[in-house]
Chains A and B, each alone.
Chain A
Amino acid sequence: MNKSRINLWIGIVLISVLMLMMVVSLFYTPFSVTEINRLERFEPPSARHLLGTDNFGRDVLSRIMKGSQTAFFVGLVAVSIGSILGVLIGAISGYFGGIVDEIIMRIVDSMMAFPSILLALMFVSVFGVGLRNTIIAIGIMSIPSFARITRSGFVQHKELDYVKNAKIKGVSNLRIMFRHILPNVLSPIVVAASMGFANAVLAEAALSYLGLGIQPPNPSWGKMLSESQVFITVGPWYAIAPGVFITLLVLGFNFLGDGIRDIREKR
């Protein structure tokens, strides 16, 4: 019985393939991403254009490849922001407890009650559209879930003997929190990070779809979807390709998250 490993491996394979595509796109794309070719508009998939061309005659595959950079970048930075701040807040809240904990957790709770896309939407429209603000918005929206998970880990562990011993020895709070406890509660955070990555990709796609996310000329899968929507009758491949790639990337990180969780539960 090795089902747990299956999840992990599907995730790793999917992510590796897409990551490879991203790395390749840093150096090479079959065609220029921005160059307009009026003679090759709406070409269906062929040996020359594996995923066809769009309304400007641009190669869809090349744009998908370039768009993977945006997807990974947004996911990575947003998750970093969310996890670092979330872990910090959760750690303080869980370790110290008391009134600080109470206040932080109440705010986190009500933040979680709000639909996250809504908060991201408000943030972006208030502070302006664009790559940077999209990432910040998505990052901030993922803080509560990281804070929650970290807190519950800290609440459990602070009562354990090794923490008590460390305290008796006079080890500083900061050191106990991040040197002693954190490594022990890391695995659920990693799972959350993997899922958070998937959510960030979906959130970016949704914001870009609404026209509030990534702006041209940066290619983004969500933006491509919204641009291609109207061409679905003449170039269905163009509307289908970015959707498939978003799904694959999200799927990869969901599987990865499940895989890591499975292994942890086995132990």
Chain B
Amino acid sequence: MRRIVLILILLLFAVTTLLSQRIVVAVMQDPDFLDPHRAAASGTYEMMFNVFEGLLKPDPNGTVIPAIAESYSVSEDGMLYTFTLRSGVKFHDGSVVTVDDVLYSLNRLKGSNGERGLSSDFEKFVSKIEAVDDKTVKVELSTLNTDFLEKFIVAIIPESNENHEKNPVGTGPFRFVEYRPGQRLVIERFEEYWNPELPKVEEVEFRIIPDNQAAIMSFLAGEVQILPRLDAIQAMVLGDRYNLLTAEQNMVQLMAMNHAVEPFDDIRIRRAINHAVDKEEVIEIVADGYGTKLGSNMSPIMSTYYREGLEDYYEPSAEKAKALLSEAGYPDGFDTKITVPSNYQFHIDTAQVIAEQLKRVGIRAEIELVEWSVWLDRVYTAREYEMTIIGLTGKLSAYEILRRYVSDYPRNFFNYSDVEYDRIIGLAIEKTAVEEKASLFRKAQEILTEDAAAVYIMDPNFIVALAPNLHGYTIYPLYVQDMSTLYYR
């Protein structure tokens, strides 16, 4: 009986999808901007990754590889980048990518002729962009930042395009077809992609379904072929009838404690909370065991920079937690609030488990759910909160990940401030030798852990569900969906 059901399902999938060579992917949110230089949301990058390319592009191992540039070199002192363009790379409108397009794109980010740039980083770190000949571009930094290479994954767009928002044109394996707000974003195969082997399918529709449960229903009904981000419990529902791939996220799920608010300004309280939280229990209950325990703000996927052994720095112990609480003057615990964005069931579940754990040491934590827009405003920007649980999506650069804690970083919503930490981060991005840089970043992670800057919970392994006849899915340590390698069989 089971086998018959399985065959039937396979057949149905085969009939509905093979005929069309079309993939429907469920995504959670609308893009913020189609113009790649204005877009900030990772949900946008997830889709438009297939449409745009930079001089370089991320590869599945978490490094960058040449894309529009055929090769590149970095000067000894790390201040000068030289890119040689690949010949014959075409934009979706058929025109060939020229150095002028590259200059236009990079200058648009940096800002030129008195106009502000669209990227704070390019504004801050780049001093000069120039063409050497019609194949070569040089970029000179003003301040040393040895993680700047990763920035060149930013999209190269044609100067001739008058409206990047309405009519986005890039060089990626897929061409933009249409975007209907709240409904779908459709892309189709670009025949003149510089890598002739890609892409393999004709068309991809990103269907915007904000509600994971509705997305699962659509998947079960065969309307959707890829569900990119399921948690383990949801994946269980799908059973073994589908292709389920476990993908590490390079995400850091953490519980932030507002260092500017009493009693979290006291390191003993923060340490007590770290001792009170049993991460393994959280992982077990919330993620069905599919999560990697963390000890600092870095996922093990970032293998070069990851500092091992911190995840057990604070062993779960009610006694230690209570002792620290008494020492800090709260022998009976205290009342507090965990603010959680209401659209993330995963974080809500985590909060429920942690609240129970804190109860065991006398800390009474109330869970407050707020809308995502309220969270961004009140918690993330205005920093009016006590504790909050959130997942920070990974970047290719360790510097990008760790600078959140630098005292004057605008989005340091932890209100974390440590002179030594700031110094180490500043030092690290000036190191050109990888090992030297890595050891400083590892030191930075230690400081965060020792200071109990936050409770670092896990890197949740989310699960990608694929229709049974869909193959070739590539997992990245980034928030992207690479559609170019997928094919039906």
Contacts and interface: CB of A to CB of B under 8 A. Distances in A.
A104 B124 CA distance: 61
A230 B212 contact: yes
A209 to B, nearest CB: 10
B213 A230 contact: yes
Nearest to A35: B356
B369 interface: yes
B217 A36 contact: no
- Point out which of A34, A36, A128, A234 has the most chain B C-beta atoms below 10 A from its C-beta: A36
B233 A229 contact: no
Q: How large is the interface on B (under 10, 10 to 19, 20 to 34, 35 or more residues)?
A: 20 to 34
B367 interface: yes
B90 to A, nearest CB: 44
A125 B69 CA distance: 48
Contacts, number: 43
B367 A234 contact: no
B98 to A, nearest CB: 49
A230 B234 contact: yes
Interface in B242-295: 284-285
A128 B370 CA distance: 8
Contact of A234 (B213, B239, B352, B356): B239
Interface residues of A, number: 19
Contact of B213 (A125, A216, A229): A229
Given A36-B285, A38-B284, A38-B285, A230 B348 contact: no
A234 B284 contact: no
Nearest to A55: B233
A211 B342 contact: yes
Contacts of A36: 285, 353
Contacts of A72: none
A101 to B, nearest CB: 40
B367 A216 contact: yes
A257 B320 CA distance: 59
A233 B235 CA distance: 12
Question: Helix, strand, loop or mixed for chain A's interface?
Answer: loop
B216 interface: yes
Contacts of B212: 230
B279 to A, nearest CB: 16
Contacts of A16: none
Interface string A183-205: 00000000000000000000000
Contacts of A34: 352, 356
B237 A231 contact: yes
A216 B348 contact: yes
Interface string B357-383: 000000000010111001000000000
Given A36-B285, A216-B348, A216-B352, A230 B217 contact: yes
21 contacts: A38-B284, A38-B285, A55-B233, A125-B371, A128-B374, A129-B342, A129-B369, A211-B342, A215-B342, A216-B348, A216-B367, A216-B369, A217-B367, A229-B213, A230-B213, A230-B216, A230-B217, A230-B237, A231-B237, A233-B239, A234-B236
Interface of A: 34, 36, 38, 55-56, 125, 128-130, 211, 215-217, 226, 229-231, 233-234
In the A-B complex, the 3 residue pairs with the smallest Cβ-Cβ separation, listed nearest first, are: A230-B213, A215-B369, A230-B216
Interface of B: 212-213, 216-217, 220, 233-234, 236-237, 239, 284-285, 342-343, 348, 352-353, 356, 367, 369-371, 374
